Structure 1
Amino acid sequence: MIKNKFFLTGLFLVIAIVLYYSFFDGSATTSVGGLADVVNPETYRQQLEEKRTKKDQFFLSDAESPLLDKKGFTSLAYFAPDPAYRVVARLEPFADKTQKLVVRMSDGKEEVYEKFAHAVFRLQDETCRLLIVKVDNTYSILFRDATSGKTTYGGGRYLELDEAALTDNQVILDFNTAYNPYCAYNPGYSCPLPPAENSLPVAVEAGEKYTSHD
């Protein structure tokens, strides 16, 4: 009996320590069901900044850059990294795996994508729902929000998802990685436009902003 008492006391102490560091180590945590996402804000910010710097270098010097005029280009515009826009979403796959979506393109043409699932999540105290589409081996979300046409590109932005992360009917949506299509910088590109259902009621102040670089 005494041994059990000491064991339980030690167990409660260990749990208390774990909970303390979970709440006070500066990390941000979001979870849905059994999937938890923990990030350290400073490390997360540094990683995002590194990726953004590499993209700026690509836009400035790569032959595949969509920019028509690179002379005045210094960098793309972004919202500050914010872990609050990295959310865990519940996936609602389609029972019928053959469902298709006709997507209108920026040049008036149309393409057909596969409907993969809906992602359901909470953002700014709102329940949000976005359609995930698949083309070839790429899983994407094409969306608009309350910033579209104001601080972000009016034609919408994109999120790309890692196929390996689409497990257990849950996925992490990181809106800090939301980016503009190439047609935002060069009208010569044909880009898919978000379906009507993918218009969020909230302002997603994360990811890439829009500044003309013509």
Structure 2
Amino acid sequence: MRKILLLAGLLAVVGLLIYNFSGSQPIASPLAKTDSAYAAQVQQARAQKNAAFRTAATSPIPVAQRAAFGGLRYYKPNAAYRVVARLTRAAGLAPLPLALTGGAADAYVRWGTAEFELDGQPQKLILLQKQGETRELFLPFTDPTNGRQTYGGGRYLDLPVPAPEASAITLDFNAAYSPFCAYNHDYSCPKPPADNRLTVPVLAGEQLTPE
């Protein structure tokens, strides 16, 4: 029986990389250049995740492979992929079920949209929220790196729900991570919606891990 992907638990370390921005004027440009403190924070979160994957009972790495697990592969931290997006909330939380890799679907709602520029190209992504969730948004996406440098099924971002008055939201693609089914086919993971396809490669976050 396939397990349903859980985004809480050991993947909570990814939250260390997420920065929520709330301002009066939305902008769509990258944040400040990559600095050593930011890079160190990213690397620390990645080291914590590697340790969890190697030892935690909830790790998606098969038990027989954990002792030899050498860690996940990542792009180097790059602040060019930490962008402030124009935030638009949906008028109502309309259902938007996400198909699962193992069949069936998971219950999500369309929370809003994020519009920004990446590599000079305008982009727009749907922000989702799992039904029953109140504190976190879910952003699954695909881009041209999938199946080459990154997992073929796309990657995810977890975001805190912005303050009610916020008109912008930070998307830090350095925190982009692969679903559990990238490491273990016993898991069934949400597929990114077709509208969440970025037109430029996202050379940030988690890469494919050699088998």
Question: Is TM-score (shorter-chain normalized) higher than 0.5?
Answer: yes
Shift of 1:130: 0.4
Q: Which is bigger in relative contact order (C-alpha 8 A, separation at least 6)? A: 2
Match of 1:86 in 2: 82
Shift of 1:71: 2.6
What secondary structure, in the 3-state scheme, does the structure 1 residue paired with 2:93 have? coil
Equivalent residue pairs, number: 182
Match of 1:9 in 2: none
**CA distance 1:164–1:33, shift in 2 (3 Å):** closer
Q: Which amino acid aligns with 1:92?
A: T
**Cα RMSD (Å) of the superposition?**
2.0
Match of 1:197 in 2: 195
CA distance, structure 2, for counterparts of residue 147 and residue 166 of structure 1: 34
CA distance, structure 1, for counterparts of residue 89 and residue 77 of structure 2: 30
TM-score normalised by the chain length of structure 2: 0.81
Give the number of the structure whose alpha-carbon radius of gyration is greater.
1
CA distance, structure 2, for counterparts of residue 160 and residue 121 of structure 1: 17
Does residue 113 of the first structure (1) align with residue 105 of the second (2)? no
Match of 1:4 in 2: none
Q: Which amino acid aligns with 1:177?
A: A
Q: Which ranges of structure 1 fall in alignment gaps of 5 or more residues?
A: 1-30
Does residue 127 of the first structure (1) align with residue 122 of the second (2)? yes
Match of 2:55 in 1: 61
Does residue 72 of the first structure (1) align with residue 74 of the second (2)? no
Determine if contact 1:32/1:89 at 8 Å carries over to the other structure: no
CA distance, structure 1, for counterparts of residue 164 and residue 44 of structure 2: 25
Match of 2:4 in 1: none
What secondary structure, in the 3-state scheme, does the structure 2 residue paired with 1:197 have? coil
Q: Which amino acid aligns with 2:41?
A: Q
Shift of 1:66: 0.3
Q: After the TM superposition, which segments of 4 or more aligned residues of structure 1 sit over 4 Å from their partners?
A: 34-40, 164-167
Q: Which amino acid aligns with 1:197?
A: D
CA distance, structure 1, for counterparts of residue 58 and residue 207 of structure 2: 21
Write out per-residue CA displacement over residues 19-49 of structure 1, whole angstroms, 9 at most, x where no aligned residue: xxxxxxxxxxxx9935795466111100000
Determine if contact 1:119/1:131 at 8 Å carries over to the other structure: yes
Q: Which ranges of structure 2 fall in alignment gaps of 5 or more residues?
A: 1-22
Q: Which amino acid aligns with 2:97?
A: V
Match of 2:175 in 1: 177
